[in-house]
Structure formats: C-alpha cells, structure tokens
Amino acid sequence: MSAIELKNLDISYGDTKVVHGINLDIAEGESFALVGESGSGKSTILRAIAGLAPDWTGEIAVLGQARSHGVDRAVARQVQMVFQDPYGSLHPRKTIDATLSEPLSIHGLGNQGERVEAMLKAVGLDQRFRFRFPHQLSGGQRQRVAIARALMLEPKVLLLDEPTSALDVSVQAEILNLLKRLRREQGLTYLLVTHNLPVVSFLCDRLAVMRHGQIVEVADVAMLKQKRLGEAYSQELLAATEGSRPPSVPKIFETKD
C-alpha cells in the first residue's frame, strides 16, 4: 500500500505558485528523500502533507486516506513532522513531560505517564530529562525530544525536514542512527528533506531531485551511490556536494544497528 500519494499537486503562497504538478507514490515502510537547492519547494511539500500549507490543489493521500485542507485530526494520527531547528520547535516554557503529553491530551489518549516514559526510552533519553526545560538540554537531546513528540501518537509516517542540519557532525550521526533504528523497530515510513546527499545514501531507499518547484528525476539510492543520476541538474548537485568523490556515507554515520 502507498504510505504517501501525491497527484498533480500544486502549492501556492498567495498569488505565487511554488510547487508545480508533483506526482509521487511512496510505499509503506519506504524511506524517501526530496533533494534540491534552497527554494525548490521541498519543505513546502512536507508542510502541505502535514496541513501547514493549506493553499494547494491536486490530491494528497496518506495510507490510502485523502487529506483535506488545513488541520485534519485523522491524518495527524498517521503522519507527524520533525522540524529542522530543535531550538525553535520546542516550547521554551514547557517541560519535556508537558511537551510529550500535549498530543496525547489533544487526542484523548490515556496512560500518559507510561507513554512518556516509554518514548523517552525509545529515543535514548534517561528519565531524568522528563521534567527539564528545553534550555537545559543540548541540541541533540532537543532533537531526540522532537522525534519523541512526533512519535507519541504512534504514527506510521514521519516527515523529516532537515532533521540534522542544525547539529554538529557527531550529533548528526547519533540522530541518523536513531532514525534508522526507529524505522526498523516501528515499521515507519520516512519522507526526508535534506541538502546532504551522504545522509540520503545512509537513510533512504529512493530520492526525487527537485528544481524550481518540479521533480526532474526520481532514482534509487543505488544510482546516487554509483554517481549515475541521469539528469544534468542531478549531476550538478552531486558535483556541488561531493566534488570529484563519489557519494558515500562518512564513517561517523556507520552503525552496527
């Protein structure tokens, strides 16, 4: 079954159309990346799927369920988003416990204490972090909390908007390894936006290259690793990111998981 299906998707901000005629079919359990230069429309697609960019036409379906415009509580139970900036995505005056409990309260789910404790453990945070505030955590710890918050409703799809770009390299590796493990353990589907092609090589199965709000190429990650992307613009991205070296995963990303 398709986890995410987009048909003839156009997205606008006011009178300006920024995404044009997107068609994608992402399988359940797949990890899929959107790559391209800044302003190509990658994050806008994630926001439309999440209900944060309501001015769109076409079709958006999550796990076979068509989503409406704006907030859709039924879709929210199935798809959640992890934002780029762990410093800005958490409420500074709420404890971690309050942050993780909030989606449970909104959707009327019980056993909140047990669920919070279990999710902190799942993302590798000790229980002593539960009643701390975001400013008392490091960047990597905050992003673990953001991932935990996204998983509190037990969604099947995570939208990942540059989830490691605000972190230093060693912490990036920790978060990427965490995401890889969670996908395996919980059977998650990922739609990832990133500029980092080695991250795509490490975490994803397929990728779409975007330019000026359109998809110019869809390819298996094997083609990326072999430096065999077909479109000229895709090759430009490879050259800009990797220089003369073939795309590879830095050793710091390697894991036994």
pLDDT single digits (tens) 19-78: 999 999 999 999 999 999 888 999 999 999 999 988 999 999 999 999 988 778 888 889
pLDDT single digits (tens) 128-148: 999 999 999 999 999 999 999
Identity of the residue numbered 185: E
2-78+156-253 CATH: 3.40.50.300
Parse the chain into domains and list their residue ranges.
2-78+156-253, 89-154
Burial (0-12, 13-18, 19+ Cβ within 10 Å), 255: middle
Tell me the angle at which helices 169-186 and 139-151 cross, rounded to the nearest 10 degrees. 20
Q: What is the pTM of this model?
A: 0.91
Q: How would you label 65-95 residue by residue, b for 16+ Cβ within 10 Å and e otherwise?
A: eebeeeebeebbbbbbbbbbbbeebbeeeeb
